[in-house]
Amino acid sequence: MNFSIAEENYIKAIWRLQQADSNVTTNELSAELQTKPASVTDMLKRLKEKKILNYEPYYGVKLNADGKKIALGIIRRHRLWEYFLVEKLKFEWDAVHVIAEELEHVSSPELVERLDHFLGFPKADPHGDPIPDSSGRMETSKHISLHQLKEQQPAIVSGVNDQSSGLPEILRQKKISIGTKVEIKQRFLFDGSIEIKIRNQPLITLSEQLAKNIYVTPL
Amino acid sequence: MNFSIAEENYIKAIWRLQQADSNVTTNELSAELQTKPASVTDMLKRLKEKKILNYEPYYGVKLNADGKKIALGIIRRHRLWEYFLVEKLKFEWDAVHVIAEELEHVSSPELVERLDHFLGFPKADPHGDPIPDSSGRMETSKHISLHQLKEQQPAIVSGVNDQSSGLPEILRQKKISIGTKVEIKQRFLFDGSIEIKIRNQPLITLSEQLAKNIYVTPL
DNA sequence: TATTTTTTTTAGATTTGCCTAAATTATAAT
DNA sequence: ATTATAATTTAGGCAAATCTAAAAAAAATA
């Protein structure tokens, strides 16, 4: 079966939301996709006809097995292109998301497999998100946001938020990158900011907003 | 100004046709794009509103300076991606056209400039067609088809037809590639076939159809 | 439990890009 | 110069993907 760009964007958005929530609502989708709820209802009816999701009026939506496979194909393309843009074309992290949103819709399966081979079968994109293999399998990294990390619990930075722009600049300045070992030394309830220790460096302060956009794997 | 994929395909088709013909007709366009003449009329009216071409009902169409610039941007992207697909992803010549037709519509200007840089600023795509630079300038190679070459006139193979599939196979078998020196020794009026000499090899026979899809620059 | 608020769906319109069938204009042939 | 043919445009329609406004259903609150 073949999907339009609009359909692929809905499938991707449903997949993303159902990771957190299992059952995805019309309103959540309309916020995610910057469209009106009425447009979402229309599209869900169309995608239901294509038998890639379970949708009951008023009760939300969920991708079925076929739908998940399609979603993982789109995510695979997106992340491979992000890797290409950063590793080969030397883009900054925060510039690649928008471009990869376009490239991910180029549908040739042979292109994807050759690109994967050309890139050396990378396991994760530049933000640390795992790249599904050609049959849709993917390492389920159980990372949490740095903001959720317990105090005194050492962890490794494993990713950053894909969608937020301006992150690379601040992370470069603070000398944080994927693989960096971090530990929360103190937490301020007043504004949600944290103080963290990196190697032997002096303590540094991160805002709540920043900590929420950095992902870590506890050790 | 921003153009849809459909609009970009029309602009590209008009540009291609007006290379040969200057004034492009509705029927030529409908044949080129595999649509009905009525659809072409619709689109020409819309593109005229966008002021990128001169169109008078019943008298054909012609891109203006702005239109040509847009066309050369699309062609630049198409040919850079073709180069990438062949040189980096190791696709065969004849497989890349369809994929490049999709990639060419990805619109980030920075992507195009970085891709160009990554590829080493190639001058021509894998079929020998020149790649316009970022301001739309392009080497105007004055090649003709091998079929049009005069007998006993030495020439260098400078390109092959972009759109035709299966060419690489037959060219590999006959040991012809871009840069090969050729000369027509005999021409058969009966079926339009020709006999050519390549270096010190024995004469080989090419069908009219094949000769029309190989381009040469006379010496 | 009844009422209010929020969420979701339905109904009806719009734009893009295409179609078919009919009308119009240009070109070629007698 | 008329007539026949070919090319082009107009008119009216359709599907995809969106919208607004109104109606209906579900959830929250009094």
Q: For residue B162, is pLDDT > 80?
A: no
Q: Is A61 on the interface with B (CB under 8 A)?
A: no
Instruction: Say yes or no for a CB contact (<8 Å) between B99 and A115.
Output: no
Two tokens, residue B55: 């169109």
Maximum CA extent, chain B: 58
Exposure on the CB side of residue A91, measured as CA atoms within 13 A: 28
* Residue B162 contacts residue B98 (beta carbons within 8 Å): no
Instruction: Say yes or no for a CB contact (<8 Å) between A114 and B103.
Output: no
- Domain assignment present for A123: no
Q: Is B215 helix (H, G, I), strand (E, B) or coil?
A: strand
Q: Is B119 on the interface with A (CB under 8 A)?
A: no
Q: For residue B78, is pLDDT > 90?
A: yes
| Single-letter code of the amino acid located at A35 | T
Residue, of B55 and A190, whose pLDDT is higher: B55
- Domain assignment present for A107: no
Between CA A66 and CA A143 the distance in angstroms is 26
What's the average model confidence in pLDDT over B121-137? 93
Exposure on the CB side of residue B177, measured as CA atoms within 13 A: 8
- C-alpha angle B182-B186-B188 in degrees, rounded to nearest 5: 125
Q: Nearest to residue A125, comparing CAs of A74, A72, A162, A167?
A: A162
CA of A153 to C1' of D1 (A): 99
Instruction: Say yes or no for a CB contact (<8 Å) between A102 and B108.
Output: yes
Mean pLDDT across chain B, nearest whole number? Answer: 93
- Domain assignment present for B78: no
CB nearest to A103's CB, from B91, B106, B110: B106
Q: How far is B140 from chain A (nearest CA, A)?
A: 29
CA of B146 to C1' of D1 (A): 46
Which helix (H) or strand (E) segment holds residue A217: the answer is strand A214-218
CB nearest to A89's CB, from B91, B99, B115: B115
- Domain assignment present for A135: no
With pLDDT > 90 as the criterion, what percentage of chain B qualifies? Answer: 71
Q: Is B6 on the interface with A (CB under 8 A)?
A: no
CATH number at B46 reads 1.10.10.10
CATH number at B156 reads 2.30.30.90
Domain boundary among B21, B38, B63: B63
- Domain assignment present for A198: yes
Q: What is the dihedral of CA B187, B215, B174, B86, to 10 degrees?
A: -170
Per-position pLDDT tens, chain A of length 219:
899 999 999 999 999 999 988 899 999 999 999 999 999 999 999 999 999 999 999 999 999 999 999 999 999 999 999 999 999 999 998 889 999 999 999 999 999 999 999 999 999 998 889 999 999 999 877 788 999 999 999 998 988 887 777 888 899 899 998 888 999 999 998 898 999 999 888 899 999 999 999 999 888
Q: Tell me, what's the pLDDT at A143?
A: 82
What's the average model confidence in pLDDT over B143-157? 90
Check residue B173 and give left, alpha or beta (phi > 0: left; psi -120 to 50: alpha): alpha
Question: What residue ranges in chain A does DSSP mark as E strands?
Answer: 53-55, 61-63, 144-145, 155-160, 181-187, 194-198, 204-206, 214-218
- Domain assignment present for B43: yes
Q: Nearest to residue A44, comparing CAs of A60, A33, A68?
A: A60
Residue owning tokens 């316009």: B132
- Domain assignment present for A174: yes
- CA of A36: nearest nucleotide by C1' is D19
Question: Positive or negative, the Cα torsion across A171, A175, A176, A182?
Answer: negative
Q: Which residues pair with B206 in a beta bridge?
A: B194
Q: Which of B5, B102, B112 has the most A C-beta neighbours within 10 Å, making it the best mutation to test the interface with A?
A: B102
Domain boundary among B32, B63, B94: B63
What's the average model confidence in pLDDT over B57-81? 97
SS3 content of chain A, % helix, strand, coil (to 5): 45, 15, 40
- Residue-number span of the structural domain to which B191 is assigned: 144-218
Q: How far is CA B160 from the centre of its chain?
A: 9
Q: Is A96 on the interface with B (CB under 8 A)?
A: no
- Domain assignment present for B16: yes
Chain A partners of B120 at a C-beta cutoff of 8 Å?
none
- CA of B9: nearest nucleotide by C1' is C17
Buried b / exposed e along B82-104 (16+ C-beta atoms within 10 A): bbbbbeebebebbbbbebbbbbb
Total tally of structural domains belonging to chain B? 2
Q: Which residues pair with B187 in a beta bridge?
A: B194
Residue, of B18 and B218, whose pLDDT is higher: B18
Chain B partners of A117 at a C-beta cutoff of 8 Å?
89
**Strand D–CB A56 distance below 7 A:** no
Q: Tell me, what's the pLDDT at B178?
A: 85
CB nearest to B99's CB, from A88, A91, A108: A108
